[in-house]
Amino acid sequence: MSMDKIALADLSLDELSALFKAWGEPQFHAVQVWRWLHLSSVTSFDEMSDLPARIRQELAENSVLNSLLPVHVQSSVDRETEKVLFRLRDGKNIEAVSMRQPRRRGGRHTVCVSTQAGCPVGCAFCATGQQGFRRNLSAGEIVEQVLFFARKSPESPVSNVVFMGMGEPLLNYEATVKAIRILNAPQGRNLGARHITVSTAGVVPGIKRLSGEGMQVGLAISLHAPNDSLRQSLVPLGRKYPLRALIAAARDYFASTGRRVSFEYTLFNGINDSVSLAAQLARLLAGMNCHVNLIPANRNADSTFRAPSRDRVAAFRDELIRRGVTTTLRRSLGGDIQAGCGQLAAYDTLLKPCTSGNR
Ligand code: SAH
Ligand code: SF4
């Protein structure tokens, strides 16, 4: 696919309007195109029936409607979870996941998007991190992951978007924020910022910047350890941004957005799952209005990082709760499609709370 053509999903409505202006076309046609792109399932410019033929031709010559090519789809047995591998225009691959709850469980439709092909952070336990970094995605490539699932199942509109796929969103800051604004735009999908969550391995300057955007986007911080030395061994970015600074940034985020921060804590057997570490975690978060999500590790190629036994997981959770930390234990499910991608499997579990005990 040609890289010279503009990917329409990369443009804000203002930018699309400016393009139409440059073409000498009336503005209201830009709004029409924007709506076709974001709110319909058309796959070609010819289907944009209310546009003059000359504009359809101009668009076809200069732009592309889709820059992502779905090359592989995996569905869980219950068909609630679907993981899609997309090929980008330059041949690189990314993945996105859609999770649809049945109506009796709320009917939420969450799409998890990637922000980078690969990831430069290099967490030892993460399948994406182990691939290395290829490149940042554009805003349009992020937005199109959502549009793909929205078009595929018009009967269950996308209600939530989580930035928990491949890559570190806050190391691709501009495209991430632009994608959020495009998804947020009232003339387009109009997805509320409160229904969007950005997950970060702890890029402190990015968290600070995000808190000043005037958007009420949810923030999830992948903590995984309550002290710097352990954290640095799991999340290399911890060397650059120590816990003191990270926790301070999380507090500020809550103060300026009113959104309670969640901390993701993936449990790795024998590595970060002892009861004394739970106590240390509770001390670290003492007095903070936050939430801890415990996630037993997903299997990936590296056998060093395995989920603890149920008993160890429960003991860790109980210690946090005993010390007053709001905690949810997430369970792994849809194991049939999690294989091979520890990280994509992870957020699948994030959104599905356990049902017994505090689970
Ligand atoms: N880079 C961002 C967002 C993408 S990773 C971040 O790290 O937060 C999404 C989540 O998957 C993170 O919480 C990450 O720590 C988690 N994860 C990665 N590999 C995992 C694995 N093998 N098991 C469980 N969670 C994993
Ligand atoms: Fe990157 Fe997140 Fe994976 Fe770490 S866990 S390597 S930050 S995608």
Active-site residue, from 95, 144, 264, 319: 95
The CATH class given to the 6-64 domain equals: mainly alpha
6-64 and 69-337 share one fold: no
Q: Please tell me the distance between residue 216's alpha carbon and the centre of ligand 2 in angstroms.
A: 23
State the closest ligand 2 atom to the C-alpha of 166, by its place in the atom list counted from 1.
8
State the closest ligand 2 atom to the C-alpha of 127, by its place in the atom list counted from 1.
3
> pLDDT tens string for the chain (359 positions)?
667 899 999 999 999 999 999 999 999 999 999 999 999 999 999 999 999 999 999 999 999 999 999 999 999 888 889 999 999 999 999 999 999 988 888 899 999 999 999 999 999 999 899 889 999 999 999 999 999 999 999 999 999 999 999 999 999 999 999 999 999 999 999 999 999 999 999 999 999 999 999 999 999 999 999 999 999 999 999 999 999 999 999 999 999 999 999 999 999 999 999 999 999 999 999 999 999 999 999 877 778 999 999 999 999 999 999 999 999 998 754 445 553 333 443 444 444 433 332 32
Please tell me the distance from the alpha carbon of residue 8 to that of residue 16, in angstroms, as a whole number: 8
CA dihedral (318, 250, 125, 163) positive or negative: positive
Q: What pLDDT does 337 receive? A: 56
Q: Check residue 258 and give left, alpha or beta (phi > 0: left; psi -120 to 50: alpha).
A: left
- Name, in order, each residue with C-beta under 8 angstroms of 339's C-beta and a sequence gap of 6 or more: 299, 345
User: Angle at Cα 165 formed by Cα 91 and Cα 8, nearest 5°?
Assistant: 55
Active site residue 95: yes
User: Angle at Cα 228 formed by Cα 223 and Cα 232, nearest 5°?
Assistant: 75
Query: CB atoms < 10 A from the CB of 140, how many?
Result: 24
> Which tokens belong to 333?
């499910």
Q: Where exactly are the structural domains of the chain?
A: 6-64, 69-337
Ligand nearest to the CA of 200: 1
Please tell me the distance from the alpha carbon of residue 346 to that of residue 165, in angstroms, as a whole number: 9
The CATH class given to the 69-337 domain equals: alpha beta
- Residue in 307, 211, 212 with CA at minimum distance from that of residue 261: 211
Ligand nearest to the CA of 294: 1
Mutational test site, ligand 2, from 115, 128, 223, max ligand atoms within 8 Å of CB? 128
Q: What pLDDT does 62 receive? A: 96
Angle in degrees, 0-180, between the axes of helices 13-22 and 27-39, rounded to the nearest 10? 140
